[in-house]
């Protein structure tokens, strides 16, 4: 058994655990930051993306989906995808850290 604390994640992308059959990573996107795009895909692995905090948009297979805390997205092997924190710096009085989009991602099988 492995137990991993993900609340301390502060880097953009960090592998936090893995086995021979799956892998977990944290991802933190600042306001206005995105990752992936129309050519980004994992040909042989599914990606489960759980939103721990913040809001944003997932573009999967060309379709946009709103991300909020508690959202779980399954990006199937081969699907193109982009994850965006579409909060802008002037949206509120919160600090940038309070507007981060924080996700936990599981890849099966491991990708990285």
Residue ranges of domains in the chain, CATH in brackets:
13-108 (2.60.120.10)
Contact 92, 31 (CB under 8 A): no
4-59 pLDDT, tens digit per residue, is 998 877 789 999 999 999 999 999 999 999 999 999 999 999 999 999 999 999 99
Gap between the Cα atoms of 8 and 62, Å rounded = 32
Residue 99 has what DSSP assignment? G
Q: Residue 76: count other Cβ atoms within 10 Å of its Cβ.
A: 13
**pTM summary value:** 0.90
């Amino acid at each position: 058994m492995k137990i991993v604390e993900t609340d301390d994640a502060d880097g953009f992308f960090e592998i936090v655990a893995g086995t021979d059959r799956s892998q977990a990573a944290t991802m933190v996107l600042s306001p206005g930051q995105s990752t992936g795009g129309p050519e980004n895909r994992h040909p042989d692995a599914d990606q489960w993306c759980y939103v721990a905090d913040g809001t944003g948009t997932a573009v999967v297979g060309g379709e946009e989906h709103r991300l909020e805390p508690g959202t779980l997205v399954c990006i199937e092997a081969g699907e193109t995808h982009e994850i965006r924190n579409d909060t802008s710096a002037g949206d509120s009085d919160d600090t940038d850290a309070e507007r981060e989009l924080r996700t936990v991602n599981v890849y099966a099988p491991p990708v990285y």
